[in-house]
Structure 1
Amino acid sequence: MRIRPYGLGIFGCIALTLLIAPLRTAIDLSNIALLYVLLVVATAVWSGRGPAVVTALLGSLAFAYVFVPPYFSLAITEVQHLITALIMLGVALLVGHLTSTLKNHVEAAKVREQHSRALYVLASQLTAAQTPADVLKISNHFLTTSFSVDDVRIYSPDAFDNLPAPLSPAGLADIIASRNLATVPVPGTTRALTVVPLRVARGLQGVLGFVLDDAGTLTGHARELLEIMASVVAVALERIHCAELAKTTEVKMASETLRSTILSALSHDLRTPLTALVGMADTLAEGRATEPEKQRAMIVAIRDQGLTINRLVSNLLEMARLQSGAVTLNKAWQPVEEVIGASLQQMRMQLDGHPVKVEIMSMLPPVEIDSVLMERALCNLLENATKYSPPGTGIDLSAGQVNNWLEIEICDRGPGLPDGCEAEIFGLFRRGQCESNIPGVGLGLAIVRTIVEAHGGRVDAENRSDGGACFKVRLPMETPPLVAELEAQA
């Protein structure tokens, strides 16, 4: 029992008596009694029920001894004065009790409000948790700030065979069956291992365990708070588990779709040229093409079909290399004209029959790029233009600087892009004309996007107003080292 609150009540009673004793003839007894009742109320608010009862008893004695005639005597001769003293005592005790009860309710409401706020913060933080480790970290912070605990752990069902002492698998099974919070004393200490089952509608997610310094401090409200907290944690773990299942299922479905797409594309785009190769090879082998011109034409066709298969396999290997993240950009300052010229030179055979109109802004500064990869990207765009452009139609290629960006645009005179597919065609195995007889599996533009984005740029596609499609590559331009040094010296 704490002495100080009682001392404050006793001191207040003595001080009030000494203060109003000289005025006892000037103040009515009922008013004096009200002053003592007021003192009891103040004591109840400040110190609680016990000190208020002591103050009420002591105040009644002081009232009867000092203020009720005959003075300084507890022998009350008049019935009216006795009734007044008894009523004062009863009212003081009742008011003190009610005030103390109200104070306890207010304090309990404040605690519940604090706990509700803490639970709200906990639930808000758990919504952002991505892994069970995140849930454990957030739960540990909540428990250590709300209770005096340490060694917070979450035991998943597959870890029930490796439990710390003094918890045993059999004891844990009993706790789980009870569905309630339980404490297991730690031998030789006042501490206790507290275990709360983490249950959701689907089943048991595990148990939450922590070491409490004093299990006796767990009041009914504290136990209720911990069980609510465990429910929130269990829901968070269930959400993470379901998200992982959904992600795994999505990856499996995407992998299956990708596998089917690859098989479908390869079966079409490999079978067609291989069939042609076998047919032309049989024709040559059987001597049915006797004229030199026909033989030469078949040999050229065999070469073209072989190049088609080679480009297909090269694109597959290149995309696999880019997707694996094993590509390191070997950047160097390159003149834009040389990169474009090298790309046109590599594509000279495919561009035969498609006149290319090249417009490059004069005095373009060099750009820091991986020339090999960037030439590959431009070659893929040029190849795409030749595939979809009718024979004899031209291809426009332009390059220029817009603000701090290098823009390279390649436009064709083909059928254009289907409405709404301007962004989708850069995806893996996506094609603008899915049912066309033009060979390809939809890798070229995906490779272009991967290379350009690796350089910090972007590639866009749109339809030309007068027919055809345009592909625009935008690359960031920086000041070359020599120019930067000259500007710094100036």
Structure 2
Amino acid sequence: GRVLVCVGPSPLSARLIRSARRLAASLRAKLVAVYVETPGVSRLSEADRRRVEENLRLAEGLGAATVTLGGPSMADEVLAYATAHNVTKIVVGKPVRPRWKDVVFGSVVDDLIRRSGDINIYVIRGEADPVNGAGSRHVPGAVTRTADWAGYAWAAAVVATTTALGWPLYHRLDISNANVLMLYLLGVLWVATHHSREATVLCSVLAVAAFDLVFVSPHYTFAVYDRRYLVVFGGMLATALVISALTHRVRVQAEAARQRERRTAALLGLSRDLATARASGEIVAATGRHVADVLGRPAVVLLADGERRLMLKQDAAGPAWLDEKEAGVAQWAFEHDQPAGRGTDTLPASAGTYVPMRAPRGVVGVIGVVADGRDAHWSGERRQLVEAFASQAALAVERANLADEARAAWERVEAEFLRNTLLSGVSHELRTPLAGITGAASTLAVSGDTLPADARREMIDTIQSEADRMERLISNLLDMTRMEAGGLALKKEWLPLQEVVGAALHHLDNRLRGRDVNATVPADLPLVAIDGTAIEQVLTNLIDNAVEYTPPGTPVDITATAGDREITVEVSDRGPGLPPGTEKRVFEKFFRAGPAATRRGIGLGLAICRGIVEAHGGTITARNLPQGGAAFRFTLPRDGTPPKVDTSE
């Protein structure tokens, strides 16, 4: 359960909050401090508003959650909140005003007791503070309400205008004075919607007086012969006053609704920006911009580094005002998880107010707002708005931090997987050719003189082929290392593609022994700007891959064609093809498509091909052929104009 304490501008609220805190502690329940903004809040003096804020801060300091509600009835709002939030006990102050006022204007305590149901109501008599006695009617420091002289003038003008309009209707056109009375009520309604309550009351009184003077017989005198008009006057005045009260309440509620709408719109705007922000810098920039725009004051957002020291990330007005002292105040607010600075009980002489950004895993930073030098207190709305901004920004920062941590963890896992895969593949792939080389070399060393020439030639070929295999493996590892480190520097020059294809075939002469290679490269193929060694490596890896995964004796086809913007090269085979769904994955590092028992290599050749081709600005793809086998196609862009070759000699 929860204990709810009702907070107001009374100087007795402080003790009420402390008593409720002791009650909640004894019951091991959560304490909630609720302040209800009713239509009468507009009549509160500046001192009363400050006292409300001080009482709410006191409740927060004692560990209570503070809630500000709005509505026409305090009892209705408190009971609705209590019912919705599992409140079992409500603590209110004992009223000190005369009993007749409770009878005439109603009593919040009586309403709560009658309608509380299963909720227990505790009525506590507060004690006066040392300055303001309990029976004191005067609040020191209260601001005197300024008279609405413009409203009074408009009230008199409206009555005079209505009288001028009604005079010919009644005296010349013989229209009933009841209709003229409606005109006065319309005038009262207009004043009520445009001016203060006091001006509306004055308009109501003047309207009754003018109606009696001009439209009730005997005319132009306040004497009334027909006593029935006394009832009319009373009803007219009562109706005008009710119109005044209702219109004033509507205006207050409309203003409260506009404030809530502005607050909601501001929070919605920040939420949208935070939803699209990924890095902490973007989150800080969005938060600082919204806080400064809504409050109209310079704002600063500070986030903690790894040593829990606040760092300046963004400042809407420049960091000049954030000196060493202000930074110390912000650091205190961060370390103690409490607001500090101007308008608070901690270091109130500071230039700014600093609100901690609370997240589920702790405080992640501080929002600072420069206070206006003309006032030293924050309004409750402004304080709640900044706290809401701080809460949303804190959640976004924590989300970004969690994303960074998850990304780092994934990178560590992936790096570990790649390391294990690399070590396993390299150790296996090096062991196999080394075993072949060692076996052949030892046989030659022990009995080479007695072996037939064909056997010696076969062993020498084995040593050479296995050495070539090791050389390709080590070359691929070095090439991938250079590409991962960003060290793949292309040395482009204009070359005929026929030479590059021929160099790759010559390099694989031993591997291609016993196979037919069908190379279709037109003689008129234009020169292309490439790194010849790198493209030769691409062709070597593709052809070697075709030999590795196809039955012995099957042919390998190489074709090259020229388009308007690119040259296309395709290497195809007559083997089993690629497993369905692996056409894109074959270019990933350490991916091997064949069955585990027949896999050779460590899965870097095609990844290197993709890196080299993309570095040239081209693309590389793989597909299965309808007649069987796999085809690997890559493109090379035709950038620039090739040089002209002199063929005159």
The amino acid of 2:424's aligned partner reads S
Which residue is equivalent to 2:216? 68
Does the 8 Å contact 1:411/1:470 carry over to 2? yes
Q: Distance in 2 between matches of 1:16 and 1:261?
A: 95
**Alignment partner, residue 469 of structure 2:** 308
User: Is residue 2:282 matched to residue 1:134?
Assistant: yes
1:14-93 aligned within 5 A: 14-25=160-171, 26-93=174-241
Mapped to 2, the partners of 1:219 and 1:28 lie a distance apart of 52
Q: Which amino acid aligns with 1:100?
A: H
Which residue type is aligned with residue 190 of structure 2?
A
How far apart, in 2, do the equivalents of 1:467 and 1:165 lie? 72
**In the alignment, which residue of structure 2 is the partner of 1:297?**
458
For 1:9, the equivalent position in structure 2 comes to 155
Distance 1:334 1:267, change over 3 A: same
CA–CA distance in structure 2, aligned partners of residues 451 and 226 of structure 1: 53
Judge which range, 100-109 or 64-73, deviates more.
64-73
Residues 65, 156 of structure 1: CA spacing in aligned structure 2 closer, same or farther, 3 A cutoff? farther
Where relative contact order (Cα < 8 A, 6+ residues apart) is larger, the structure is 1
Residue in structure 1 matched with residue 367 of structure 2 by the alignment: 208
Matches within 5 A, 1:84-233: 84-156=232-304, 158-159=308-309, 164=326, 167=329, 170=332, 176=338, 187=349, 193-213=352-372, 218-233=378-393
Q: Distance in 2 between matches of 1:48 and 1:159?
A: 51
Give 1:77 shift.
4.5
- Aligned partner of residue 462 in structure 1, secondary structure: strand
Give 2:635's aligned residue: 474
In 2, the alpha carbon distance for the partners of 1:165 and 1:69 equals 77
Superposed displacement of residue 107, structure 1:
3.0
Of residues 389, 401, 410 in structure 2, which corresponds to 1:250?
410
CA spacing shift, 1:5–1:473, aligned 2, 3 Å = same
Matched residue SS, 2:338: helix
What letter matches 2:395 in structure 1? Answer: V
Q: Are 2:334 and 2:363, in contact at CA under 8 Å, matched by a contact in 1?
A: no
Q: Please, which moves more after superposition, 371-380 or 342-351?
A: 342-351
Report how far residue 139 of structure 1 moved. 1.1
Cα distance in 1 between the residues matched to 2:457 and 2:218: 144
Matched to 1:235, the amino acid is: L
Distance 1:266 1:481, change over 3 A: closer
The separation in 1 between residues aligned to 2:500 and 2:448, in whole angstroms, is 45
Aligned-partner Cα distance in 2 for 1:428–1:122:
42
Tell me which residue corresponds to 1:448: 609
Which residue identity does 2:548 align to in structure 1? K
Residue 27 of structure 1 deviates from its aligned partner by: 4.0
SS in 1 for 2:571: strand
Q: Find the counterpart in structure 2 of residue 376 from structure 1.
A: 537
The CA deviation at 1:143 is 1.6
SS at match of 1:429: coil
For the residue of structure 2 that corresponds to 1:149, the secondary structure is coil
In structure 2, what is the Cα distance between the partners aligned to 1:184 and 1:84? 60
Separation in structure 2 between the aligned mates of residue 18 and residue 419 of structure 1, nearest angstrom: 94
- 8 Å CA contact 2:587–2:606 kept in 1: the answer is yes
CA distance in 2, matches of 1:165, 1:350: 71
1:337 paired residue among 481, 498, 506: 498
CA shift for structure 1 position 411? 1.2
1:247-396 aligned within 5 A: 247-287=407-447, 290-291=450-451, 293=453, 294-361=455-522, 363-396=524-557
* 1:488 matched residue in structure 2: none
1:310 partner letter = E
- 373-382 or 330-339, which deviates more: 330-339
Matches within 5 A, 1:409-488: 409-437=570-598, 439-478=600-639, 480=641
> Per-residue CA shift, 1:8-62, capped at 9, x if unaligned?
3332223223333454433433322221211111112122433322322332333
Q: Write the deviation string for residues 267-287 of structure 1: whole angstroms up to 9, x where unpaired.
A: 110111222333333333434
In structure 2, runs of 5+ residues without a counterpart are: 1-145, 312-323, 645-649
> Quick one: distance in 2 between partners of 1:45 and 1:221?
25
Distance 2:178 2:437 in 1: 121
* Contact 1:182 1:196 (8 Å CA) reproduced: no
**Percent identity (aligned):** 35
1:127 partner SS:
helix
Question: CA RMSD of the aligned region, Å?
Answer: 3.0
Q: Does 1:238 find its partner at 2:398? A: yes
Q: For the structure 1 residues 464 and 230, does the alpha-carbon distance in structure 2 shift closer, same or farther, using more than 3 Å as the test?
A: same
CA separation in 1, counterparts of 2:179 and 2:366?
62
Specify the code of the residue in structure 2 equivalent to 1:262: L
In the alignment of these two chains, the number of paired residues is: 478
Q: Which has the higher mean CA deviation after the structures are superposed, 428-437 or 372-381?
A: 428-437
Task: Output the CA distance in 1 between the equivalents of 2:335 and 2:512.
Answer: 76
Contact preservation (8 Å) 1:431, 1:442: yes
The structure with more helix, counted as a fraction of residues = 1
Contact 1:56–1:92 (Cα < 8 Å) also in 2: yes
Note the C-alpha offset of 1:116. Answer: 2.2
Q: 1:427 to 1:166 in 2, by over 3 A?
A: closer
Partners of 1:283 and 1:289 within 8 A in 2? no
User: What are the Cα deviations for residues 357-384 of structure 1, in whole angstroms up to 9, with x where unaligned?
Assistant: 1112453222222222111111111111
Contact 2:181 2:211 (8 Å CA) reproduced: yes
Measured after TM superposition, the shift of residue 446 of structure 1 is: 0.6
- 285 and 10 in structure 1: CA distance in 2 versus 1, 3 angstrom threshold: farther
Measure, in 2, the Cα distance between the counterparts of 1:168 and 1:208. 8
